[in-house]
Amino acid sequence: MKRRTWILFASLILIVSCFVVFTVSKKDIDPSITIEQLSWDALTPETEKFGKELEDEGAQDIQYFEIGNVEGELLYVELSGRRVIPNEKESDFEVFLQYPQDKKSLVLKSYQDKVLLISYRNGNTLHEYMTNSASTAVSNASSADLDKEYCAFISAIGPVEKNGTRLGYAVFSDDKMIIASMKEEPSSIEKKISEDDFVYEYRITVEVIKAES
């Protein structure tokens, strides 16, 4: 009888623990923000034209991401990164790209409810380009060249959380097969990093700003 009571008690504790974890995780999710990778068919004519211009300049492996807000509010978006080193303590994320550059200018742009992020490589350099989905006239850009023979951005979008969302990994390596293997299994990228590789986790942080009436 005591054994049966103990088993029931242990089962109850397990159920309660799972419920607490689920509740905490659910609170971290931000349902008002959407982050998705766009296919070529989903691009606007202006974005498609811009992508072709990048290709003419030597861009390869172009990827398009759209950050949106279901309520149609203005968005301020930051892209940050941190180096991933196996068996070492995680470092802090550092912002290296934002859009728009001046957050205060958002109140003047009622169409700024969607931000377009473009990632591509040119040779062994990775580029990120952030602009407005409705108009690419104004933008911010960044690039990284870590003196490795190969590079790639591998998309691995995580749950959209209030404190930031994993977008994917920037990989710089002299081993082309390592990058190919990581692309096949994005969920196990961190397990495949060698001592000579540079791998950075990229995170998107979104701030919703109320427009002035």
Contacts of residue 62, defined as CB under 8 A and 6 or more positions apart, other chains included, come to 51, 54, 55, 118, 119, 120
- Does residue 69 carry a pLDDT above 90? no
Q: Which has the closest alpha carbon to 73: 182, 211, 181?
A: 211
Angle of CA points 108, 52, 145, to nearest 5°? 85
More confident residue, 4 or 117: 117
More confident residue, 13 or 84: 84
- pLDDT over 70 for what percent of the chain? 82
116 and 47 Cβ atoms separated by less than 8 Å: yes
Which pLDDT band holds residue 212 (cuts at 50, 70, 90)? low
Q: And the tokens for 89?
A: 């303590």
pTM of the model: 0.83
Over residues 81-99, mean pLDDT:
92
3-state SS class at 137 = coil
Q: Which has the closest alpha carbon to 35: 72, 67, 78?
A: 67
Span 15-68, pLDDT tens digits: 444 444 444 345 577 788 999 999 999 998 989 999 999 999 999 999 999 999
Q: Which residues of 81-93 are buried (b: 16+ CB within 10 A; e: fewer)?
A: beebeeeeeeeeb
